[in-house]
Amino acid sequence: MNASAARKTAVVTGAGSGIGRSVALTLAAAGWSVAVAGRRPEPLEETAALAGPDADVLPLPTDVTSPDEVAALFEAVRERYGRLDLLFNNAGTFGPGGVAVEDLAYEAWRHVVDTNLNGAFLCAQAAFRQMKEQDPQGGRIINNGSISAHVPRPNSVAYTATKHAMTGLTKALSLDGRPYRIAVGQIDIGNAATEMTARMRTGVPQANGELAVEPVMDAADVARTVLHMAELPLEANVQFATVMATTMPYIGRG
């Protein structure tokens, strides 16, 4: 068996930046073959380049809100690698920040729901089909939840609703995957330092109406946790994990 055939295979969505890129690079460094998906090809190519010439990283531009593009993504993985061991369901968007419920445009609401929830469902559905059909059967899905799957930030109704829904999706998939050796878990992340959380370091609204700078953590700490979850035998599952900046305002009253 050659080196590439011995690798496990993962799909990472939202892999052109931030947490998705960090997870893709960590998996590749650990010897995984990684199909990286995202809307724009250039950032995916950058992720592949950062992994280095010895890594097996396959850029596959994909809009996760499109059923046809999601189907094409997983078919490309099947053709290239023959099987799928892991889906890291990571693609997501905050949507417009600081918009009150009564002022949020329906189009903005729909965009967040389509990306964060419908996209996660479409990718999980495609992964389920492949993991159920392949031999040996089974695999693992890790959904990117959020601290917002537990508690909201002010004026974040769309993002918070989708992340609460992600928890329900994780539980349902975990139950339905049991007969097929498909393990499904969720990682809830708080204040990883990425492009999307840059505003944490300049001040974000708090529940009491004040602005406050919040601590952040290295996205590599998230990636190491995902790798640990991914490399467990399918007989073991981290159902829910929370990885957060230690002193961020979440536990207690701030």
Tell me the DSSP string of 58-124: EEEE--TT-HHHHHHHHHHHHHHHS---EEEE------STT--GGG--HHHHHHHHIIIIIHHHHHH
Q: Which of 196, 174, 175, 166 is nearest to 89 (CA)?
A: 166
Catalytic site residue 81? no
Contact 74, 130 (CB under 8 A): yes
3-state secondary structure of 22: helix
- How far, in Å, CA of 172 to CA of 245, rounded? 28
Q: Are 10 and 85 in contact (CB under 8 A)?
A: yes
Distance CA 64, CA 230 (A): 22
**Catalytic hit among 106, 159, 180, 250:** 159
Q: How many CA atoms lie within 13 A of 117 on its CB side?
A: 20
Q: Determine contact, residues 59/36, Cβ cutoff 8 Å.
A: yes
Active-site amino acid positions: 159
